Every structure is written in C-alpha cells, then in structure tokens.
Structure 1
Amino acid sequence: MSDNAYFKFTNSVVVAPLLAILSIWTVFWVELRFKVNLNDYGIYPQRVSGLKGIIFSPFIHGSVEHLYNNTIPLAVLTASLFYFYRGIALRVLVMGILISGLFTWAIGRPSYHIGASGVIYLLASFIFFKGIFTKHYRLVALSLIVVFIYGSMLWYIFPIEDGISWEGHLGGFLGGLLLAFVLKSEIPPVKKYDWEKEDYDEEADEFLRQFDEYGNFIEKAPEQEVPEDTVKVTYHYKEQKPDDFSGEASK
C-alpha cells in the first residue's frame, strides 16, 4: 500500500467526530429541555445495575463546562483516528469503550461516573502508542503532536483532584495502550530509496542510463578535459603590399 492510498481524506473524518459531538450535546439538551437527570445511567462500580453505564456514560455530562471541556478534544482525536487509522477506527472505539468502562466499574469509587473523558484518554493513548509502535515517520510525528497538546492530561489518571473520575481516565489510558499493542493496522512501509518512490523516473536516473534495455553496461569513451589554466594564443597575419617596400634610389 502506498502513502497516497493510505493517507487520504474520507467522509468518515468529518462524519465520525460530528456524530460524536452531536450525540453528547443532544443528550445534554434533552436533560435541560425536559428537566431530567440521566446520571443514573452512568457507571456505578460493583453494582450489576451500574453496568449499563459502560454504554451510556460517555454521552452524559454534569454541566456545560464539563461538556465544553470534552467537546474539542473528542472532535480532534476522533478525526485523527479516522484519518490515520480508518481501517481499525470503529474497533478501537467500540472495544476501547468496553475496556475502559469495565475497568472503571471494577475499581471505581461508589459514585456515578459520567462523561466522555474516558474516551478522550482512550483515543489519545491509542494514537500516541500506535504511532510509536509502527515507527512510521508520519505517525510518530502525530504521536509527538498528541503529547505536545494533551500531555498535561496524564496527571489526571491519578487521584489528584476530587470530583474527577480518575478511574475512567486510567481505564481509557490503559485501554488505548492495550489496543495499540493488540490491533494490527496495514501501515505503508517507509521508502528509503529513490526507485521506491511513486514519482521515480527511470529515464532521468544517471546510473540506469549506463545500461541498455537488456541490462548490459554501455561503455562510453572518457571525455577529455581541458585544463582551465591552458593559455590559448591567436595569431593575426597582415598582408603586405608591394608599395610598402618601394623607395627612392640614391643619386
């Protein structure tokens, strides 16, 4: 697979993040419009009834600030996932949500855990580690960009602030790492030589021009080089007329 075939824009790069953002904002609008509280559909650890939150919790948010803080990272990381890893993007989302949700349900504090932040940690972790594992220069560059923009989120996988589900963050982080290691993606190999590139022109290659169509070496006479310090002398001859030799006789 060539780079141009792999790294190309598709409708999913726009549709997927758009659907993700519309879904979380629509759920929040429904809560405000009909004055309902859907927190009961979040993950409640160690309760069988809390298992439903594994599916529903990413769509539920407690405030406008909570919703806004998750909107931009979710859109950017989802678009990146579907552009650079479109072949496995859906599997990453579905399996990642299940893994991070189950992890939160298993170790979480006795409270309702809601929000899409676990999915954000999942995407950031997967994109970072997958780029490092593939060693493709474009994907490694993407990994470094993710670290530069979202590297500060790493602190929130630890219990450093009350009211934040660090368990969900940690579950998303570990889920992304696991999927980056397990899921295989067909990555185009890095082309090291000119003849591997798609725009390679054989006729313009000085090396190949030394061989004929059958692969036989074409011997060429060595060109004689003229030293730059050679002095070139040019002679100009002037024609002498008979009158130039005539004179008066002495008397």
Structure 2
Amino acid sequence: MGVTGGYPGAAGPAQRKKRPAWVVGGLTIVSFVVLLWLIELWDSLTGHRLDNNGIRPLESDGLLGILFAPLLHSDWDHLIANSVPALVLGFLMTLAGMSRFIFATAIVWILGGLGTWLIGNVGVHCPYVGVSCETNHIGASGLIFGWLAFLIVFGFFTRNIWEIVIGVVVLLLYGGILLGVLPGTPGVSWQGHLSGAVAGVVAAYLLSGPERKARALRRPVQSPRLPS
C-alpha cells in the first residue's frame, strides 16, 4: 500500500500561511534598492567604468543602455537622491499587486528607455562649435518618474477609491518633482524624466484594462428611441 510523505499535523500547500502582500512588496523594493547600492559600490571600486553603459541617444549600441541605465548612477549623491523616492514609490506600486508592479516596471523601463534614446539629445547645446556632443543617460530617476505618474493616474482609470486616494496623496507629496520633466537644470536628464512619466501613464492605462472593461459591462444599455 502506498503512503504519502509527511507527518501528522504537517501543513499542505493550501494550508501554509502566505506572507502579507505589503511584506512581499516591501522586501521586493528594498532588495531592488540594495542591488542599486551594490552596483554603485562595484562601479566606484572599478573607476566608474559601468557608467559608460547608459543610454546614448540615436546610437545603435546605445540601445543596450535601455537595459542597464536605471541600475547605474554617476556617484553616491546621485544614488542617495534616488533611493528614498524609489523605496516609497516602489513600495506603493507593489500595493497595486505584484504582477501589476512587475508589468508596469517593465513597461516604464523599456518604453521610457526607448523614449530617452529617441529624444535624449533634444535641447543639448555643445559648447564647442562644429563638434557634436554625445550624451549618456543613467540613473533610476526615469523609472521613478514612471512610478510616480502611474500612481497618480491609475486610480482615475480603475475608479477604485483607495487607489484614487493614493494617487492624490502621491501628487501632494511628490507632485513638485514633476517639474523635472521640463528642461532647465544642466546635467539632469529631463528627457529621461519625461519619457519615464509618459511611459508610466501608458502603463497605468494598459494595466487598468480589466477594471475599465468591467465598468463598461456594468453600464446600462439604452434602447434606441423610435419616432412616434
């Protein structure tokens, strides 16, 4: 007679208590920020050679920078400036669901990076006449702007009251940094900020599809009026 493994009182897969979503989300985003610090530590120890792998606009080999740019920072001050917003906004993103967080991050990462590759040289003035200046865009700020834009508009697409509240709170706390999508500060990739923010809105619209479809199905169908 066959027997099953285990012992009396052992919990099966369905009985095991899952970790709360906020714990999983918190561990995920903390791990991501820790990874950024480890990469910057290695970069500092190796003479910042990794920084050359950013997004170089309109260059074919610069397309690879789309994959690496959000993981790279020019120095510790740059990384520190991005760490707190990444922790806060990234954690809030996970509250929309881990699958949505992953897909939204992928959309912002790729679409925002592609936008930066396309417009990264816009508004760049070279001090040397007759010489083309190449730009190299690095940093997680494009991803952060994407998360920020996603959080602000997602609730208005889903019509979920709590997600609307989160969006309003995020807008009040961090809305001021949206000015970073405008040109003006030398050495700051407003192109990356703008591309990330646009990608965040696109991600919010795409990933709110189930709620928008469900809302459309609940609308009453109006019978056509016939002339009397």
Where do 1:1-251 residues align within 5 Å? 9-109=21-121, 110-184=134-208
Counterpart CA distance in 1 for 2:193 and 2:44 is: 26
Question: Does structure 1 conserve the Cα–Cα contact (< 8 Å) formed by 2:154 and 2:208?
Answer: no
**Cα deviation, residue 36, structure 1:** 3.6
Question: Does structure 2 conserve the Cα–Cα contact (< 8 Å) formed by 1:88 and 1:185?
Answer: no
Deviations 1:22-68, CA, capped at 9 Å, x for gaps: 11111110022233422210000000110111010111111211111
**Cα deviation, residue 10, structure 1:** 4.5
CA spacing shift, 1:12–1:76, aligned 2, 3 Å:
same
Deviations 1:169-205, CA, capped at 9 Å, x for gaps: 0001000111111223656x9xxxxxxxxxxxxxxxx
Identify the range of structure 1 (110-119 vs 11-20) with the bigger mean alpha-carbon deviation: 11-20
Give the residue type in structure 2 aligned to 1:35. G
Moved over 6 A (4+): none
Question: Does structure 1 conserve the Cα–Cα contact (< 8 Å) formed by 2:158 and 2:208?
Answer: no
Give the residue type in structure 2 aligned to 1:20. F
Question: Does structure 1 conserve the Cα–Cα contact (< 8 Å) formed by 2:57 and 2:119?
Answer: yes
Counterpart CA distance in 2 for 1:29 and 1:38 is: 11
Deviations 1:95-131, CA, capped at 9 Å, x for gaps: 2100000000011113000000000000000111101
**Cα deviation, residue 91, structure 1:** 0.6
State the partner residue of 1:231: none
Greater helix fraction, Structure 1 or Structure 2: 2
Counterpart CA distance in 1 for 2:181 and 2:156 is: 21
SS at match of 2:186: coil
SS at match of 2:95: helix
| CA RMSD after TM alignment | 1.8
**Cα deviation, residue 83, structure 1:** 1.4
Counterpart CA distance in 2 for 1:103 and 1:147 is: 23
Counterpart CA distance in 1 for 2:44 and 2:144 is: 24
- Superposition TM-score, scaled by structure 2 size: 0.75
**Cα deviation, residue 20, structure 1:** 1.4
- Superposition TM-score, scaled by structure 1 size: 0.68
Q: What are the ranges of 5 or more consecutive residues in structure 1 without an aligned counterpart?
A: 1-7, 190-251
Question: Does structure 1 conserve the Cα–Cα contact (< 8 Å) formed by 2:181 and 2:191?
Answer: yes
**Cα deviation, residue 158, structure 1:** 0.9
Q: What are the ranges of 5 or more consecutive residues in structure 2 without an aligned counterpart?
A: 1-19, 122-133, 215-228
Question: Does structure 2 conserve the Cα–Cα contact (< 8 Å) formed by 1:59 and 1:116?
Answer: yes
Give the residue type in structure 2 aligned to 1:16. T
CA spacing shift, 1:83–1:52, aligned 2, 3 Å:
same
Question: Does structure 1 conserve the Cα–Cα contact (< 8 Å) formed by 2:145 and 2:193?
Answer: yes
State the partner residue of 1:222: none
Larger radius of gyration: 1
SS at match of 1:88: helix
SS at match of 1:87: helix
